Amino acid sequence: MKVIKFGGSSVGTPEMMIQVAKIIAKNDKQIVVLSAVQGTTDSLNKYTQLLESHKNREALHWLLTIENKHIEFSQQLINDTQIRLDLEKKIHSITQSVKPANEIIINKKRILAIGEKLSTEIFYHYLLSIQQHSSLISALSFMRKDENDEPDHAFILENISKVLLQLNNCNTFITQGFICKNKNGEIDNFERGGGDYTATLLAAAVNAEEVQIWTDIDGVHNNDPRFVDNTFPVRELSYNEAAELAYFGAKILHPTCVFPVIEKKIPIRLKNTKQPDAKGTIIHRQTSNKNIKAIAAKDNIMAIKIRSSRMLNAYGFLRQIFEIFEKYKIPIDMITTSEVAVSVTIEQTENLSDLLPELQTYGEVEFDKNQTIICIVGDFLASNHGYASRIFTNLRHLPIRMVSYGGSKNNISILIHTDDKINALESLNKGLFQGIH
């Protein structure tokens, strides 16, 4: 069994959906995970904003636009009149289920979920129309989060197994990425880009031989192609390297999607839907190349410095500080300490009214907002020297707020002001990769 995920751009036009059908026709047993049609999740977000600002008439108009877009899409894709009419009814009933009159209490997650419901209905009906046999299975019947808002692996395993057993004469299953239920059985999701996470969670549950993530680019590039020219695909990454890149901002992978498959050693292959024969990237246990592989950037970070003479020669100080972050469930990304101060980074938030007074009981607190973590990923064995100097030489013209080196052998993280991000990414691209490709 393989799990094959196609992102929004891969199902963004009728032509792309036809291409997806051709790609999956070559596989034997597979679960196909789809995102919403490109732009739909953003449109649904806008719809909820209109509802929240009580612009119901405008909201209804916007929802009709979303419905019409999907109906036009189907009309271009499907020739069989009866199948197309059935699909149009489905599209209408899905969009009607979130129309303003029914949304007395605005449930954003229930609204966002219709994007994936619509795209999978369209794709399933298209396969039906070309007599490519498949079953449409609802992710809401097996994808669930637990009381800590983490995937409920036992529930997922039990329920996807049941579904597959009931349909054991079928080889191709179509399902929605991104959406799930929460511990109370309400509709939830795995955050933006969550389709990748659905795919790897399912792969772990069904013990898949491979997960494929099909998107609009030929695999993971060495740097962020949205900000830097002359990037190139990295053909091979270890799980740890890919996990660091995903967590620290490489949008091609959802931040936590690598973790589910590590234990079972299921490879993740990234592929380009527009160029199915291009090599892409393979993510697996080990890589042969011990070097700097890629760079990513994570924005919207703030640094917090706590300075206290009580730290001098004291033990337990850091524990007390970390307990405050734990209490408010705030994850820390980077840490550096000196004898009298500790700096940490967290995701930027305006809501510091609880955290700040508690931190101030331990010392003087300072904040730096609008920071970006630049994460350089590779295989940095301590015995292979010279990496740090190459990185810092290329950043010598920029102010650096924090550095984290040695936390793992796969990551060097540097905190800079967000205004310097593109400059840093470009300088590192020239200095670390020029001539390699």
Residue type, 347: E
Q: Which two tokens stand for residue 360?
A: 């101030």
- Alpha-carbon distance of 298 to 347, in angstroms, equals 9
Q: Which stretch binds ligand ADP (CB under 6 A): 13-21, 119-127, 167-175, 217-225?
A: 217-225
Which residues pair with residue 237 across a beta bridge?
Answer: 283
CA atoms within 13 A on the CB side of 307: 4
| Cβ closest to ligand ASP, residue 41 vs residue 404 | 41
State the nearest-atom distance from the C-beta of 231 to ligand ADP, in Å: 7
Task: Return the residue matching tokens 């400059």.
Answer: 423
Q: Which two tokens stand for residue 283?
A: 């993510």
| Cβ closest to Mg ion, residue 70 vs residue 254 | 254
Is residue 216 at the binding interface for ligand ADP, with CB under 6 A as the rule? yes
Is residue 119 at the binding interface for ligand ADP, with CB under 6 A as the rule? no
- Alpha-carbon distance of 12 to 6, in angstroms, equals 10
Is residue 252 at the binding interface for ligand ADP, with CB under 6 A as the rule? yes
The site partner of 199 among ligand ASP, ligand ADP, Mg ion, none (C-beta below 5 to 8 Å per kind) is none
CA atoms within 13 A on the CB side of 298: 22
The site partner of 115 among ligand ASP, ligand ADP, Mg ion, none (C-beta below 5 to 8 Å per kind) is ligand ASP
The site partner of 226 among ligand ASP, ligand ADP, Mg ion, none (C-beta below 5 to 8 Å per kind) is ligand ADP
- Alpha-carbon distance of 342 to 416, in angstroms, equals 17
Judged by CB under 6 A, the residue of 251, 274, 307, 409 near ligand ADP is 251
Where do runs of H (alpha helix) occur along 267-403? Answer: 317-327, 355-360, 387-394
The site partner of 39 among ligand ADP, Mg ion, ligand ASP, none (C-beta below 5 to 8 Å per kind) is none
- Alpha-carbon distance of 356 to 378, in angstroms, equals 36
Which residues pair with residue 176 across a beta bridge?
Answer: 34
| Cβ closest to ligand ASP, residue 35 vs residue 410 | 35
Q: Which two tokens stand for residue 13?
A: 């036009």
Q: Which stretch binds Mg ion (CB under 5 A): 51-59, 146-154, 189-197, 414-422?
A: 189-197
Q: Which two tokens stand for residue 279?
A: 């090599």
| Cβ closest to ligand ADP, residue 100 vs residue 177 | 177
Number of residues that bind ligand ADP (CB under 6 A): 18
Whether the CB-CB separation of 306 and 364 falls below 8 Å is answered with yes
- Alpha-carbon distance of 237 to 248, in angstroms, equals 15
Contacting residues toward ligand ASP, per CB under 6 A: 7-8, 35-36, 41, 115, 177-178, 192-195
Judged by CB under 5 A, the residue of 193, 233, 249, 260 near Mg ion is 193
Q: Which stretch binds ligand ADP (CB under 6 A): 26-34, 67-75, 248-256, 405-413?
A: 248-256
Is residue 179 at the binding interface for ligand ADP, with CB under 6 A as the rule? no
Whether the CB-CB separation of 123 and 141 falls below 8 Å is answered with no
Question: Which residues contribute to the site for Mg ion (CB under 5 A)?
Answer: 7, 193
Binding site for ligand ADP (CB under 6 A): 7-10, 35, 193, 215-217, 220-221, 224-226, 250-252, 294
